[in-house]
Amino acid sequence: MNEFRESIKDYGRDIRLNISAILGENGAAGLNPGQTWGVALACAYSTRNPALISAVQRRASELVSPEYVEAAKAASTIMAMNNVYYRFTHLVEDREFANMPARLRMNIMSSPGIPKVDFELMCLAISAISGCGACMNSHVDQARKGGLSTEGIQSAVRIASVLNAASQASLIG
């Protein structure tokens, strides 16, 4: 992760500092290391940036179980679908769409292979990157029901925002 962070040019100095802060030992307040790195990995996958994915995968594989890696992949994949669909139903003026059944398979949401609250955090962070308000509200509610603090929820979104910016800086070069 350090090599990726240092590859960001000086115009992204704030992003380099934020990566160090949010992914440092005490940076993700309210989250345990599994939650922190699970969220980071899910966000990296969602940015589609190969360099960022590789960097986060290397570090995350040292800190989380293979189940968290698979859950991060699943969260990124399912939210790629859900964020498009639910953002549409939320933003379109014709409310009839919001009342129609989605008819989309989402079984992973109920059985992600890791604690449900951790999966919800991954989905929340991805939804923040995608800008789906309906999904963000749903995942915040589920995270709170799972016992997560407001500070922990904020940390997940901070990770998403910093990694999204890091991806942007990396792609700009």
Helical axes 66-91 vs 116-130, angle rounded to 10°: 50
Q: Which residue out of 41, 132, 162, 163 is catalytically annotated?
A: 132
Predicted structure pTM score: 0.94
The pLDDT score that the predictor gives to residue 10 is 96
Give, for all 173 residues of the chain, the pLDDT tens digit.
Answer: 999 999 999 999 999 999 999 998 888 999 999 999 999 999 999 999 999 999 999 999 999 999 999 999 999 999 999 999 999 999 999 999 999 999 999 999 999 999 999 999 999 999 999 999 999 999 999 999 999 999 999 999 999 999 999 999 999 98
CATH class for domain 2-172? mainly alpha
| H-helix or E-strand spanning residue 4 | helix 2-7
The pLDDT score that the predictor gives to residue 171 is 95
In order, the DSSP letters of 112-170 are -SS-HHHHHHHHHHHHHHHT-HHHHHHHHHHHHHTT--HHHHHHHHHHHHHHHHHHHHH
Kindly list the distances between the CA atom of residue 111 and the CA atoms of 30, 57, 116, 123, in Å, as whole numbers in the listed order: 24, 23, 8, 14
The pLDDT score that the predictor gives to residue 173 is 82
132 is an active site residue:
yes
Q: Which residue out of 135, 136, 159, 160 is catalytically annotated?
A: 135
The pLDDT score that the predictor gives to residue 25 is 81
pLDDT tens for 87-135 read: 999 999 999 999 999 999 999 999 999 999 999 999 999 999 999 999 9
